[in-house]
């Protein structure tokens, strides 16, 4: 592997000759084709034909300083990228949103002058949009992908957008590379597939040539990338921001959203089957929870630190591919976010909502994170292209809920204009709004110095240590999932050298991981480890907060039990289960051979929510098998009933069963020898205990045995 990260300017060296697919022709602006000699590689230029010296870094003041607006190459590149598609978003196209509120716990005036943090118990209206990144609007919910977690808070001093993800780090360190990572992960332009999938040559070619992506790759190949529900995933602001108080004192901050119901993901085999059974699985889950009054909730937590901590921390706090472990800097709870209302119209609100990282109230400020700097510059272009007018703030979902006044006027679809003769300032008529040095946004007066150059800070050069820390922080089962995901994704790559290049990076993260992936891919010989600008640190302590399993909910609240019934189902057992679930704050669905329902043992009618043909067990967090002796004979003839049980067992879920369900378990290939602590006999007396045990969600000890079958 080329020593890309070892260079101070961050440029990756060429991976070898003909790195642009042996391209021999380049088309000019006028459409003419320019011929290149055999073996030559065309020079990268701007759209005006100007040769580009550095396509890896934005123009900054010093290696860690702010980005400069005069960077015409970055401006052109990001401008064109922002305008590539209409009308759906270029990224985060498939999204779903909800209204709610943020409630502040206590005043934080010591740290910030932001109005919403000045009074305990104050509620600020909110709108939140969750999304996938790579797929189009019509793609499925359970793609292996990053999830957008964008929060718009309608504060009394303007809108504040925390535009984050469910992963605290990102693929790239500099915003100038954003078009490249998205181009690479999207469907390949000649074939227009695969859709909503990273398992293809272009993505892994880019990643294998971009060592800074290795930490993010560990997250995306983990179960974090296939969450069970929006309600069960964390959110992060990703970047380092600043809090600024009334004395103009600055405190660095990272934003964390912690789900009240704990974290939970699905297995890859589940995700594939869920996408077939219900491609709107995440949307339906959020809709159902809010409509039934089970309002999703997250706690906002701050990781706050000063310049001394930033200077002493092992990694650069401006590097968006790094995090600060919670054991090193525990986050402090500051408030809660509750979603309690669905949009009245999906298009008017969820599709037209415009998030921009530069939307901050006084008291919140930016750091010099180069990815954040670029995002601040880019988002306005994006909204203009998508929503068709500079007046997109006139759309109700984007309009502030506080008083506002300015002299902006006219333009396409203007819904309001300044009133009166004056539309400028200063003016001598005493009309119109005026600036307020006391109340207005004032950037933190940081002192910057350095040469004006395209540079990558040397402090950004360690690309493997935190990737290793994430991997060793997972349970053995979670590590197995990462290895399996990498093997699967790379097995779809047709170019052998790309697969080998990725394994060379994995050797710098964990040799056992690299060996598993290399063996799974059938590599004849293992490659040498990729050249590393900074050796991988072995001394970083595992962080338990990085594991989903280690941070499970230990309760079944907010989850769903699938209950399989037939004519003659024991009414007492069913009633006891329903009571136990209600007490636990969980829900259930009744699955029957026919969607009309079934007659219980006491003659009452059991209304069904689903029929067995349309309700595989992947849609539920656990299952209960309550067929009567006569009814089970009919189920034995249904392959979907067999799959219902077999999948639940293979996915390590808890299974409750009555004695009469034994033939169905046997039909699914589950014998008495296979029974474990997660296969539980049920009666009316055992129902409450069964529900209590469901809080563990999975029987992970079962997984290795299932894999060997």
CA–CA dist 243, 253 (Å, integer) = 7
Measured CA to CA, the distance from residue 143 to residue 226 in angstroms comes to 7
Set 57, 104, 159, 165: catalytic member: 165
Instruction: Report how far Cα 604 is from the mean position of its chain's Cα atoms.
Output: 45
Collapse the DSSP code of 94 into the 3-class scheme (helix H, G, I; strand E, B; otherwise coil) and give the result: coil
- Work out whether the CA dihedral 57, 61, 64, 67 comes out positive or negative: negative
Q: In this structure, what token pair is assigned to residue 597? A: 């329902």
Backbone phi and psi for residue 428, each to the nearest 5 degrees, phi listed first: -100, 5
DSSP H/E element including 442 = none
Instruction: State yes or no: cis peptide before 426, omega within 30 of 0.
Output: yes
Closest CA to 565 of 588, 587, 613, 598: 598
User: Would you give the DSSP letter of residue 588?
Assistant: E
- Helix (H) or strand (E) holding 491, with range, is helix 476-491
Strands 250-259 and 241-244: antiparallel
Task: Kindly state the helix (H) or strand (E) to which residue 379 belongs, with its residue range.
Answer: helix 370-387
Distances (CA, A) of 511 to 149, 468, 515: 33, 10, 6
Measured CA to CA, the distance from residue 337 to residue 331 in angstroms comes to 16
To the query of whether residue 481 is one of the catalytic residues in this protein, the response is: no
Q: Do 219 and 198 touch, CB atoms closer than 8 A?
A: no
Run of H or E including 309: helix 307-312
Could you tell me which residues are beta bridge partners of residue 34? 26
Q: Considering Cα of 69, then 70, then 71, then 75, what sign does the dihedral take? A: positive
Task: Say what the alpha-carbon torsion angle 617, 620, 624, 630 is, to the nearest 10 degrees.
Answer: -40
Torsions phi, psi for 169 (to 5 deg): -125, 175
Is residue 266 within 8 Å of residue 305, measured between CB atoms? no
Is 398 marked active-site? no
422 forms beta bridges with: none
Which residue among the candidates 92, 282, 505, 651 is catalytic per the annotation? Answer: 92
Pairing of strands 332-341, 297-305: antiparallel
Q: Which two tokens stand for residue 132?
A: 């996938």
HSE, side-chain direction, 13 A CA sphere, residue 143:
26
Bridge-partner residues for 625, per DSSP? Answer: 564, 657
The three-class DSSP label of residue 592 is strand
Tokens at residue 526, please? 């293992």
151: β partners: 128, 162
Residue with tokens 């129902």: 687
3-state SS of 223-284 is: HHHCECCHHHCCEECCCCEEEECCCCCEEEEEEEEEECCCCCECCHHHHHHHHHHCCCHHHH
Query: Which of 270, 250, 289 is CA-nearest to residue 130?
Result: 289
- 464-479 per-residue burial string, b: 16 or more CB within 10 A, e: under 16: bbbbbbbbbbbeebbb
Whether 171 and 184 have beta carbons less than 8 Å apart is answered as no
- Which phi and psi angles does 404 have, rounded to 5°? -145, 150
Vertex 180 angle, CA 470 and 145, to 5°? 45
Q: Are strands 587-592 and 560-565 parallel, antiparallel or unpaired?
A: parallel
14 is written with which tokens?
A: 């060429």
Question: In whole angstroms, how large is the CA radius of gyration of the chain?
Answer: 27
Q: Where in the sequence numbering do the catalytic residues fall?
A: 92, 165
């Amino acid at each position: 592997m080329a020593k890309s990260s070892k260079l101070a300017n961050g440029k990756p060296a060429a991976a070898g000759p003909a790195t642009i697919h042996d391209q021999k022709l380049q088309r000019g602006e006028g459409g003419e084709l320019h011929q290149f000699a055999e073996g030559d590689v065309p020079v990268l230029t701007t759209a005006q034909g100007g040769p580009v010296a550095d396509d890896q870094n934005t123009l900054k003041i010093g290696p860690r300083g702010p980005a400069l607006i005069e960077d015409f190459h970055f401006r052109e590149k990001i401008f064109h990228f922002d305008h590539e598609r209409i009308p759906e978003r270029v990224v985060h196209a498939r999204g779903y949103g909800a209204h709610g509120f943020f409630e502040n716990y206590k005043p934080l005036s010591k740290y910030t002058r932001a109005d919403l943090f000045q009074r305990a118990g104050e509620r600020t209206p909110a709108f939140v949009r969750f999304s996938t990144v790579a797929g189009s609007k019509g793609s499925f919910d359970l793609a292996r992908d990053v999830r957008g977690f964008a929060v718009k808070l309608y504060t009394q001093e303007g809108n504040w957008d925390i535009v984050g993800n469910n992963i605290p780090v990102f693929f790239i360190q500099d915003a100038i590379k954003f078009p490249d990572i998205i181009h690479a992960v999207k469907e390949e332009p000649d074939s227009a597939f695969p859709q909503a999938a990273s398992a293809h040559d272009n993505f892994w070619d880019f990643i294998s040539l971009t060592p800074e992506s290795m930490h993010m790759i560990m997250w995306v190949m983990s179960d974090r990338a296939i969450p069970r529900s929006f309600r069960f995933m964390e959110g992060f602001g990703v970047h380092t921001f600043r809090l600024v108080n009334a004395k103009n004192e600055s405190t660095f901050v990272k934003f964390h959203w912690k789900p009240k119901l704990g974290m939970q993901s699905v297995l890859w085999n589940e995700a594939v089957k869920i996408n077939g059974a219900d491609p709107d699985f995440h949307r339906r889950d959020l809709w159902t929870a809010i409509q039934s009054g089970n309002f999703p909730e997250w706690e906002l937590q701050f990781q706050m630190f000063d310049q001394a901590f930033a200077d002493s921390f092992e990694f650069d706090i401006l590097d968006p591919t790094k995090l600060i472990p919670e054991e090193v800097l525990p986050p402090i709870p500051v408030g809660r976010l509750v979603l309690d209302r669905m949009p009245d119209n999906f298009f008017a609100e969820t599709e037209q909502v415009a998030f921009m990282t530069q939307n901050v109230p006084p008291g919140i400020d930016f750091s010099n994170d180069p990815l954040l700097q670029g995002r601040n510059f880019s988002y306005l272009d994006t909204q203009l292209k998508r929503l068709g007018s500079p007046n997109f703030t006139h759309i109700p979902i984007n309009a502030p809920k506080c008083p506002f006044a300015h002299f902006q006027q006219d333009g396409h679809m203007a819904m309001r204009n300044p009133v009166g003769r004056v539309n400028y300032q200063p003016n001598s008529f005493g009309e119109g709004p005026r600036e307020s040095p006391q109340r207005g946004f004032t950037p933190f007066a940081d002192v910057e110095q350095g040469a004006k150059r395209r540079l990558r800070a040397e402090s950004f050069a360690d690309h493997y240590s935190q990737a290793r820390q994430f991997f060793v922080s997972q349970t053995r089962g979670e590590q197995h999932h990462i290895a399996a995901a990498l093997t699967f994704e790379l097995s779809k790559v047709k170019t052998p050298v790309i697969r080998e290049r990725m394994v060379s990076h994995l050797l710098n993260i964990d040799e056992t991981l690299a060996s598993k992936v290399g063996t799974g891919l059938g590599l004849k010989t293992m490659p040498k480890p990729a050249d590393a600008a900074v050796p991988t640190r072995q001394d970083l302590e595992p962080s338990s907060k990085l594991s989903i399993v280690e941070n499970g909910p230990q309760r079944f609240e907010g989850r769903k039990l699938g209950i399989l019934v037939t004519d003659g189902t024991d009414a007492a057992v069913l009633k006891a289960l329903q009571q136990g679930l209600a007490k636990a704050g969980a829900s259930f669905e009744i699955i029957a051979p026919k969607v009309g329902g079934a007659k219980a043992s006491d003659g009452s009618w059991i209304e069904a929510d689903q029929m067995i043909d349309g309700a595989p067990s992947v849609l539920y967090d656990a299952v209960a098998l309550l067929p009567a002796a006569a009814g089970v004979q009919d189920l034995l003839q249904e392959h979907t009933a067999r799959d219902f049980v077999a999948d639940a067992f293979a996915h390590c879920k808890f299974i409750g069963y009555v004695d009469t369900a034994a033939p169905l378990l046997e039909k699914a290939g589950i014998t008495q020898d296979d029974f474990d602590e997660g296969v539980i006999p049920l009666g009316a007396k055992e129902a409450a205990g069964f529900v209590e045990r469901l809080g563990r969600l999975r029987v992970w000890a079962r997984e290795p045995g299932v894999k060997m079958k």
